[in-house]
Structure 1
Amino acid sequence: MLSDDALIFLQHSIKTVWTLEILLILRRDPGQAWNSDELIRESRSSTLILQEVLANLQQAGLIETDGDHRIRYRSATPTLERLAAEIAVAQARRPAAITKALLSVSSDKVQNFAGAFRVGKRT
């Protein structure tokens, strides 16, 4: 499905299904610059979700914002482009597997968080 590098990048930089969805929207046409309202409408998300997603994508080095606050896909390095391309292909071929890979990290975090509050071993 995904190389180890792409899986790690997906789980630690993309992090959410919303981020993946908006990344794929932006990546479809790297030359197109979007404003926030257009991305919200296209992704059927919200302002709050979009703000979080754009922060994640900016931190991951996958987008740029111009002086008019328009957003476009742009990977900071060829390696990031390769990873994003691999994830896009895998999402097109096996979307359920990609969603499962994303959600498995969230599930592990919840279990680890809950485990921190266990006082003793239950019998």
Structure 2
Amino acid sequence: MYPLATLLFLATFAFAVPAPIPDDPAPEPSSVTHLYLCVDSSFKGQCTNMHLDTSTCHNLDQTWNDKVSSAGPDKGTFCTLYSETECRGKALPFTYPGIRNLTRYKFDNVLSSVRCDFIEGFNDHP
């Protein structure tokens, strides 16, 4: 009946370009690191591996407040320990592998809050 219309209709499919498939967005880099804390020096006694959001101050709960004698962050992480809550007071910055004996820095049983960040350019963290 309408051969030209049919031909034009079919031709549009022959030259149609499929829409590109969108790439999956790259996953957001992890903003969580860890800090290993122990009540005794040399990473002994009761210990915990805290999961911490980076760039955020974390107050220790009563289980750990003023009771830590050794602390160690993940590789590629820079942490600062604080003698008071809300990341105030005396500060002790350190990196991996951590501090086996906080007494050496007059920080034994002093820790009340902590803040950790990734070391820029260090690619070993997630």
Q: Normalised by the size of structure 1, how large is the TM-score?
A: 0.22
> Which of the two has greater helix per residue?
1
Based on CA coordinates, which of the two structures has the bigger radius of gyration?
A: 2
Q: Normalised by the size of structure 2, how large is the TM-score?
A: 0.22
Higher relative contact order (CA 8 A, sep 6+): 1
